[in-house]
């Protein structure tokens, strides 16, 4: 990104929005030199919307059932992102797969956080799967989004020890704590223009 230019980001959420809150706090403190231009949700009852409204961030709620196809739904999101000149799309607990059309429109400008050390334990049960497998370490991964689930180039990861007797909720709490650190950091690196994708590797300048 050009020096001195404030990057507009959009955050897509479906739930409580704890990662959204971490991003809001990092923007407010000046750690992330960006503007959260829009928070989008597919769930009108998502607590993330209240977090956004409290921070005076514009929100958009779209019901997937109002659209014939996933691509139509995504096209409506994209139309609103472009109105706001959004340059980075941040998925923060957005519980929908985005279409290839969306990815094509924002290639290498969509990031996601996953609660496991990719490429291990992809999918919606990363914490549970790591525990059941008997893994000794796990932790969050921030990655670019491509057409395959939890597959894009990795930006940052943070390893966390899985303790004997860990429950899913206890492990989830520790993973979330690290998510709230590395997600804002990854966004900061992007908006400062410090990330370069070379094949599957993300090089930090």
The predicted structure's pLDDT at residue 158: 98
Torsion angle (degrees, nearest 10) of CA 117, 123, 127, 133 = -80
**pTM given for the model:** 0.95
Domain 7-204, what architecture?
3-Layer(aba) Sandwich (3.40)
Q: What is the pLDDT along the chain (205 residues), one digit of tens a residue?
A: 455 568 999 999 999 999 999 999 999 999 999 999 999 999 999 999 999 999 999 999 999 999 999 999 999 999 999 999 999 999 999 999 999 999 999 999 999 999 999 999 999 999 999 999 999 999 999 999 999 999 999 999 999 999 999 999 999 999 999 999 999 999 999 999 999 999 999 999 9
**Per-residue pLDDT, 118:** 98
Task: Note the pLDDT of residue 4.
Answer: 58
Determine the pLDDT at residue 3: 55
SS3 assignment, position 50: helix
SS3 per-residue string spanning 74-131: HHHHHHHHHHCCCCEEEECCCCCCCCHHHHHHCCCCEEEEECCCCCCCCCCCHHHHHH
pLDDT in tens, 25-59: 999 999 999 999 999 999 999 999 999 999 999 99
Known catalytic residues are 114
Look up residue 46 and give its DSSP letter.
Answer: -
pLDDT at 7: 96
Q: What is the pLDDT of residue 183?
A: 98
Nearest to 86 by CA among 195, 158, 1: 1
d(CA 185, CA 12): 18
């Amino acid at each position: 990104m050009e020096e001195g230019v404030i990057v507009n980001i959009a955050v897509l959420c479906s739930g409580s929005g704890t990662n959204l809150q971490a991003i809001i706090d990092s923007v407010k403190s000046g750690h992330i030199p960006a503007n959260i231009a829009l928070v989008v949700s597919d769930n009108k009852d998502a607590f993330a919307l209240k977090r956004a409204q409290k921070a005076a961030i514009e929100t958009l709620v779209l019901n997937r059932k109002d659209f014939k196809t996933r691509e139509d739904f995504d096209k409506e999101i994209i139309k609103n992102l472009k109105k706001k000149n959004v340059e980075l799309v941040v998925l923060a607990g957005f519980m929908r797969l985005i279409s290839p059309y969306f990815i094509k429109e924002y290639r290498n400008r969509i990031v996601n956080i996953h609660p496991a050390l990719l490429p291990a334990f992809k999918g919606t049960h990363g914490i549970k799967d790591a525990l059941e497998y008997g893994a000794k370490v796990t932790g969050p991964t921030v990655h670019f989004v491509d057409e395959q689930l939890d597959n894009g180039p990795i930006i940052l990861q943070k390893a966390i020890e899985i303790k004997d007797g860990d429950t899913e909720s206890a492990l989830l709490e520790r993973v979330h704590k690290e998510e709230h650190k590395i997600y804002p950091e990854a966004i900061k690196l992007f908006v400062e223009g410090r990330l370069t994708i070379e094949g599957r590797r993300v090089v930090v300048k």
